[in-house]
Amino acid sequence: MQAFYANMTQLLGAIEDCLSKGRLLSCLTLLYSGIDVVASLERGSGEGTKAAFVRWAEGNLLKVHPLPCTALELYAARCGVVHAFTPQSDLSRQGSARQIVYAWGTAKSEDLAEAGKRLGRTDVPVHIRDLIDAFRAGVACYLEEVGRSPEREQLLETGTGLWFTHMDQGLVKQFLEAS
């Protein structure tokens, strides 16, 4: 559990840092990658990234912090941002998901919604702050649920045991000198 807390704290700090500096694509890339990472911890046998992402977003993120989009639309947005720095994805091009557009800072998602309406667009406006808050709340919900199940706790421990970790170079040198 220590690796989970350490890495999530670092990730959330980087997300907030990018947002505060106006590095929006980096912020969104880290945010969507974070959802991917947490969703992967309990990926079922044979379950792909999309299914795990959507299941986790529905059961945690959107459950405790509703947004004006669906979990599938978040996944489509993730694909567009992470793979191409664009709001478009295969799902949006196929008409299976609306594109998400983002407000940030003092901008209001309601203003984006009204502008889109006047232009005849069907995009879903989401404020980046709301998306970050939803991720934080989703992680808290997930941890609360995992804490009630020893089996799920074990899955989390196993999954985070595979994560990269920081190791002091002095320990490596001590090991090399001792062997």
What are the structural domain ranges in the chain? 2-178
- Please state, in angstroms and as integers, the Cα–Cα distance from residue 122 to each residue in 15, 24, 149, following that order: 27, 22, 41
Q: Give rounded-to-5 percent helix, strand, coil for the chain.
A: 65, 5, 30
pTM: 0.90
Q: pLDDT-based confidence at 147, cuts 50/70/90? A: very high
Given a cut of 80, whether residue 165 has pLDDT beyond it is no
pLDDT tens track for 83-123? 999 999 999 999 999 999 999 999 999 999 999 999 999 99
Q: What is the pLDDT of residue 2?
A: 84
| Alpha-carbon span 43 to 40, nearest angstrom | 5
Extract the tokens encoding 168: 């002091």
| Alpha-carbon span 145 to 148, nearest angstrom | 5
Extract the tokens encoding 84: 């191409």
Q: What is the pLDDT of residue 168?
A: 81
Given a cut of 90, whether residue 179 has pLDDT beyond it is no
* Per-residue DSSP letter, 175: H
| Alpha-carbon span 37 to 172, nearest angstrom | 28
* Contact criterion met (CB below 8 Å) for 31 and 132: yes
Count the Cβ atoms, other than its own, within 10 Å of residue 14.
16
Q: pLDDT-based confidence at 162, cuts 50/70/90? A: confident
